[in-house]
Chains A and B, each alone.
Chain A
Amino acid sequence: MNCRRVSHLISAYIDGELTGAEMLEVRKHIGVCRECAEDYESVRRTKFMLSRLSTAKPRPDLGARILSRLDEVTVPVYLRLWNRLVSYGRAYLTPITVGCAALGIVLVVLVSKPFATADIASGRASFYSEMMGLPSINITAPISYEPPVHARPLVFARSDNPSGVVEPSMLTFASFEAP
């Protein structure tokens, strides 16, 4: 451990707020490094001086004055209700319950989302099915396609496409309608 690192840990060392291994290392370093030992001693004295400060005393009637000021304070009903709500929230909304609720919402969204959605413009089919490792596209619903001038085809994608990428050459014209 070098002096720079020890200098950063000195305060926490004095407070006993380091891990056992860190405590030992700092102690060892202070034993051999004079500069750090002086640093340690001066910070320790600073802490000691603060702990020796006297207790500042209020005027004897401060308590009574606070109480008389409280008489003028009315807590509105909405604030009382809000306070209750916050306090129940703090008591019962532990990180675990919040995590479980979040997980539940994610699951519901994933399950309710249709797996096969195709986006011709980007050529990607079914993000969700790819993500979940399911076989790629299987589109059964007609996809809108820019109609030629003379005909309006109904377009189906082929279901034996392993890559999940839809290209115009894969599209089959199933039927034609008169213009």
Chain B
Amino acid sequence: MLRRNKNETEEESVELTTSAAAASERVDRNLFDELVQRHHKQAYNIAYRMTGNHADAEDLTQEAFIRAFRFFDQYRRELPFESWLYRIISNAFIDMLRRKPKAQIRSLDQPVSTDDGEAIPDIADESGGPEEQIISKEMDASIQAALNSLPPGFRLAVIYADIEGLSYEEIADAMRCSIGTVRSRLHRGRKLLRDRLKSFGAFLEEGR
């Protein structure tokens, strides 16, 4: 009788702990699903500017979120999720380049094979009103081609600074390097980009 009781309580407590762990996993998963919904578009935009094409951008976005999920317990909840995501995307991108270096040379105009057949990448369709849309599709393509020609470290720094609008400190955190490195990468990256754009004849002369 006594023994049976003991077994029962043991079973109960085991059940309790496993259900507590399962519950905490469920909470984590729900929280993470919400973060995916909220951030995947932003992540996709960054991934697109890094890789220069939609197929790789999709892969990179998915890979980044899967990594984030595996290491979700390392994320400190009191900090913004974006800055953690930036780090993960940067790492995932560098790993992607290591795996397939051709990711950096695919052209923008090349059709991308999707599930619904081939599609020409769709960009520059921001519905921000006509006065907002200063950059044309051609210009967008030229800038992307110029970005693709930058070495990866320069490209990431420029994307974080000028597209995402991060501070040098935030970029240093995302790329795990010093602020001095960020500074010199931006300096050299922007000058390379400018020279590239000038050689494409795509430099915006009277932009303000």
Contact = CB atoms under 8 A, between A and B. Distances in A.
Contacts of A57: 41, 44-45, 122, 125
Contacts, number: 141
Contacts of A63: 36-37, 40
B176 interface: no
Contact of B190 (A43, A54, A70): A43
Contacts of A73: 66, 69-70
Interface string B121-141: 111111000000111000110
B204 interface: yes
A163 interface: no
B191 to A, nearest CB: 7
Interface stretch (B6-14, B86-94, B98-106, B157-165): B157-165
A69 B62 contact: yes
Given A43-B191, A54-B126, A70 B69 contact: yes
Contacts of B71: 79, 83
B112 to A, nearest CB: 10
B144 to A, nearest CB: 8
B44 A62 contact: yes
Contact of A56 (B29, B49, B135): B49
Bin the interface of chain A by size.
Answer: 35 or more
A84 interface: yes
A49 B123 contact: no
Contact of B76 (A43, A49, A56, A87): A87
A58 B57 contact: yes
B114 A87 contact: no
Given A52-B135, A63-B40, A75 B186 contact: no
Interface of B: 29, 32-33, 36-37, 40-41, 44-45, 48-49, 54, 57-58, 61-62, 65-66, 69-76, 114, 121-126, 133-135, 139-140, 143-144, 158, 161-163, 165, 167-168, 183, 186-187, 190-191, 193-194, 197-198, 203-205, 207-208
Given A66-B61, A87-B73, 4 more contacts: A11-B183, A56-B49, A57-B45, A58-B57
